[in-house]
Amino acid sequence: MAEDIVAGTVKPHADEAGNRIDGVVIGLLVSINEDGEPLVAFPGNASETGIRARSTVALRHDDIGLELALMFENGNPACPLVMGRMHQTEGVAPRLHGVTAEADGQRLELRADREIVLRCGRASITLTRAGKILLRGTYLLSRSSGVNRIKGGSVQIN
């Protein structure tokens, strides 16, 4: 940062594509990484898992899914800064360009326009708009104490 200060002024920055974001952007807290850093998503962000951000407020795992007020260090979209959590009216789901998360303590529902991906290490579950469910992993186990039904237009095994 010291090299960014020239004669008492801060040089404006942009990302590699030359984009700048000035002003406040509403984003979403995607997760908090193992180092306690927030990972955020916002309109125009291409990362599936969110990008690391700095924060002016303490964020907890309970805050995941909440909307955030974001600004960007020197306008650089690669350097988000969490200014605070958006106040949520009881029962109103946060929205981020077609993404909705609703939780009532009994059930969590995620909705998206194109697809939803749950990922942990080398395992993932992808739900697509076309109705496809893709399970990927190094080991899959299906266990049931009742009926374990496989039904489809066609079923392929190996």
63 CB-contact burial (10 Å; exposed 0-12 / middle 13-18 / buried 19+) = middle
Q: Mean pLDDT throughout 18-27? A: 84
* pTM, to two decimals: 0.51
Span 139-153, pLDDT tens digits: 988 899 999 888 888
Span 107-131, pLDDT tens digits: 777 777 788 888 888 888 988 888 8
Q: Which CATH number fits domain 2-100: 2.40.50, 3.40.50, 2.60.120, 1.20.81?
A: 2.40.50
Residue 80: name the closest of 62, 66, 68, 88 by CA.
68
